[in-house]
């Protein structure tokens, strides 16, 4: 998906291509997804200049109705950074992303721990595995009320946690999935970690798993 202000759309497309996907960029004003879509990625950036709240305005974009429908049929949907913020605002994922506790933009490699490996996004990872993936955000502090948080943890929907306090995120949450496990959002950028020459290829594990899931979805729900 490309929203006005997305800026990691081409990086995501390149990285997905490097793990075997055939990505297509889809403008936010579209009302349907390309035929034979196997997975949807909402990229990082600053959609609509982060006006109102991050992701709030993009969550009402025309294409989001098609994304919602795609997710409802079990289609894999991954939101990265601003994409995560959009999915939360669209209430396709629980919680909300708020300004970093330290009110500073954070831009560096972080270590995240795999908490659960049951969702389709984690099929190439093991529980307890440590991944190094960069973050770059000013509003990445994930928040949900206590009851929701406890419930999500019990259901295994907290997928990734930072190994340290990066931004004031509740429970150091870095990534969550929906109840069914086909919609995931995370603040770290897997598309910036697909080449060991640039520090880490750990992000490729998530993207490759997404490509596997996309192929499976195309078989399960033909266009």
The DSSP letter of residue 138 is S
Q: Which of 15, 71, 96, 176 binds other proteins (CB under 8 A)?
A: 96
Closest CB to other proteins among residues 170, 216: 170
What track of x and - describes contact with other proteins for positions 183 through 222 (by CB under 8 A)? Answer: ----------------------------------------
- Cβ atoms of 19 and 211 within 8 Å: the answer is yes
The DSSP letter of residue 33 is P
Closest CB to other proteins among residues 102, 118: 102
Query: In terms of Cα–Cα distance, which of 144, 141, 112, 143 is closest to 128?
Result: 112
Q: According to the binding rule CB under 8 A, does residue 53 interact with other proteins?
A: yes
Query: In terms of Cα–Cα distance, which of 127, 124, 202, 192 is closest to 158?
Result: 127
Q: Which of 32, 60, 73, 118 binds other proteins (CB under 8 A)?
A: 60
d(CA 45, CA 197): 24
What track of x and - describes contact with other proteins for positions 117 through 156 (by CB under 8 A)? Answer: --------------------------xxx-----------
Task: Give me the active site residues, please.
Answer: 81, 189, 191
d(CA 25, CA 5): 14
d(CA 210, CA 81): 16
Q: According to the binding rule CB under 8 A, does residue 106 interact with other proteins?
A: no
Least separation, in Å, of the C-beta of 53 and other proteins?
6
The DSSP letter of residue 107 is E
Those residues whose C-beta lies under 8 Å from the C-beta of residue 104, and which sit 6 or more positions away, are 138
The values of phi and psi at residue 104, to 5°, are -125, 145
Q: Which of 95, 175, 185, 204 binds other proteins (CB under 8 A)?
A: 95
Q: According to the binding rule CB under 8 A, does residue 89 interact with other proteins?
A: yes
Least separation, in Å, of the C-beta of 147 and other proteins?
12
Judged by the rule CB under 8 A, the positions of this chain that interact with other proteins are 52-53, 56-57, 60, 89, 95-96, 98-103, 143-145, 168
């Amino acid at each position: 998906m490309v929203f006005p202000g997305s800026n990691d759309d081409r990086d995501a497309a390149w990285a997905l291509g490097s793990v075997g996907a055939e990505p297509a960029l889809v403008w936010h004003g579209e009302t349907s997804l390309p035929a034979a879509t196997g997975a949807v990625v909402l990229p990082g950036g600053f959609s609509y200049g982060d006006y109102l709240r991050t992701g709030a305005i993009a969550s009402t974009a025309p294409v989001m109705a098609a994304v919602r429908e795609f997710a409802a049929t079990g289609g894999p949907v991954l939101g990265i950074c601003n994409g995560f913020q959009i999915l939360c605002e669209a209430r396709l994922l629980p919680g909300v992303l708020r300004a970093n506790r330290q009110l500073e933009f954070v831009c560096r490699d972080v270590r995240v721990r795999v908490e659960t490996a049951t969702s389709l996004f984690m099929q190439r990872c093991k529980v307890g595995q440590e991944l190094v993936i960069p973050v770059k955000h000013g509003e990445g502090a994930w928040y949900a009320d206590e009851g929701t948080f406890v419930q999500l943890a019990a259901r295994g929907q907290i997928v990734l946690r930072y190994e340290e306090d990066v931004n004031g995120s509740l429970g150091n949450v870095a990534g969550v999935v929906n109840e069914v496990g086909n919609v995931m959002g995370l603040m770290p950028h897997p598309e910036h970690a697909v080449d060991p020459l640039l520090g880490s290829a750990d992000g490729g594990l998530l993207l490759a798993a997404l490509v596997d899931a996309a192929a499976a979805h195309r078989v399960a729900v033909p266009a």
